[in-house]
Amino acid sequence: MSDTAHGVGGLPFDASKRVWPNELNVFGALVLIVVVFEVLGASLMGQSFLFDSQGRFDTIFNEQRLYIIVLQVSIVGIIAIGVTQVIIAGGIDLSSGSIVGATAMIAMSFAQVAEVNGQPNPKGVFIEQGWVDLPVVVPVMVGLACGLAAGLINGLLIAYTRIPPFIATLGMMVTARGIAKWWSKGQPISFPTQEYAAIGNGFGGWMPVVIFVGLAILFQLILKFTVYGKHTYAIGSNEEAARMSGIKVNRHKVLVYTIAGMLAALAALVLSSKNLTAQAGMGVMYELDAIAMAVIGGVSLSGGRGSIVGTVIGALIFGVIISGFTFLRLDAYYQEMVKGAVIVGAVVLDQWRQRYQALRT
C-alpha cells in the first residue's frame, strides 16, 4: 500500500483531480481565522484592518500574544502528538488528561527540596524517608515510567481483551484521576528542585515550545519514513488487511498506546515544573483538547489518515480561537460552546472529504 493511500503527510496535489494536501487546507483555515479575528479586533478598537488610527502597522496577534498562544498549546500539543498516533491507528485515548494529573503528583513528590527558607518543606511528601533533593533524573524517570505503565495497560486491554478503546481508556481515566487524588490525599505538592523547575522554565520560558516542536518534527519523520509509521497507517486504514499482510497488529497497538502514555507523562513533567506545583486536578479536559487539536488538524476519527503537521496547525488554530475570544472579551462559557461547535464541524468536514474522495476514486 502506498504512502498516498495511507495519507502519510496528507495527499499530494493532483492537477487532474484538484486534490490539495490536507495540511494546506488546514493552514488556509488558520489564515482565515486569523484574518477574521483581526477584522473583529480592528472593529472593536475602532481602527483600520492591520493599522492603528495613526496609520502604523498594528495587529491583535502581536509578539506577546503569539508567545502566549504558542505557550498555551505546547503542553496539550505534546499530548496531541501521542493522541494523533492513536487515532491514526484506529483508536481513541480518553485517559491522557488523568495521566497528566497522576504523573504530575507522583513525579513532583520525588522532585522536592528538603527545606524552604530554612524550614522543613511544608508540602513535603517523602521528607521523613529522606527522598528529597534527588537528582532530576529520578522524578523524570519515575514520571515517564508512570505514563509508560498507564499506556501499556491501555494497549494490552485493547489489543488482547478486545475491549473497545473508548471503554478501556475511560477506565484508565477514572483510575488515574483517583490515583492523583489518593497520592497526597488531595493536597498539592510544591517546592521542586531548581533542576526540575528548569524542565518547564528553561530557555527563557520557551522550553515547553522547544519540546513540543522537537517532538512534532521527530514523530512526523517517524510516521512518514519508518516501518512504525507505515504499520500505524495500515492498521488504521484496514486492520484485517494489515493482519493478513503480516503486521503484528496487537503488538503494534500496545506500542502506540504506550508511546501516547509516555507523551502524556512528559506533558505532566513540563506542566508541573513550569507551575512549580502539582495538583490532583491537573490535566482535566486535556484529553478532549488534544483530540480536538488532532481532529481540527485533519486527523480522521475513522483512522488511517492524518499527520503530525496537521495536528500542529490544528493546535495553533485552537490557540488562536481561544486567544481571539479572550481578546474580544467573550465569556468563557461561550468559548466552550464555540469550541465544541468547531470540533463537530471539523468531524463533519472530514466525513464529507472522505465521501468526496471515495467518489473521485
- Residue 331 has what pLDDT? 77
DSSP letter at 269? H
Q: Out of 55-59, 166-170, 247-251, 273-277, pick the least confident.
A: 55-59
| Selected residue with higher pLDDT from 180 and 34 | 180
pLDDT at residue 54, rounded to an integer: 55
Domain presence at residue 7: no
Q: Is residue 127 part of a domain?
A: yes
The CATH number for 155's domain is 1.10.3470
pTM above 0.85, yes or no: yes
Q: What is the pLDDT of residues 113-150, one digit of tens each?
A: 887 777 777 666 766 666 788 999 999 999 999 999 99
Distance CA 318, CA 308 (A): 15
Grid coordinates belonging to 240: 484485517
Residue 50, domain member (yes or no):
no
pLDDT at 1 over 70: no
Is residue 47 in some structural domain?
Answer: no
The 10 Å CB-count burial string (b at 16+, else e) for 312-336 is bbbbbbbbbbbbbbebeeeeeeebe
Q: Give the structural domain span for 162.
A: 21-41+60-360
Considering its fold, how many domains does the chain have in total? 1
Q: Which residues contact 96 (CB under 8 A, 6 or more apart)?
A: 79, 82, 83, 260, 261, 264, 267, 283, 286, 287, 290
d(CA 271, CA 278) in angstroms, rounded, equals: 8
pLDDT value, residue 3: 44
Better-predicted residue by pLDDT, 94 or 47? 94
Residue 10: inside a domain: no
Mean pLDDT of 309-326: 89
Q: Is 61 within 8 Å of 37 (Cβ atoms)?
A: yes
- If you search the block for the grid coordinates 533533593, which residue do you land on? 133
- For the chain, the average pLDDT equals 85
Smallest Cα–Cα separation from 104: which of 245, 266, 346, 312? Answer: 266
Residue 90 falls inside a structural domain: yes
Q: 295 lies in a domain?
A: yes
**Residue with cell string 512518514:** 224
Report which of residues 172 and 345 the model is more confident about: 172
Question: Are the CB atoms for 237 and 91 separated by under 8 Å?
Answer: no
* Any domain includes 12: no
pLDDT digits (tens, 9 = 90+) for 183-200: 988 889 988 999 999 999
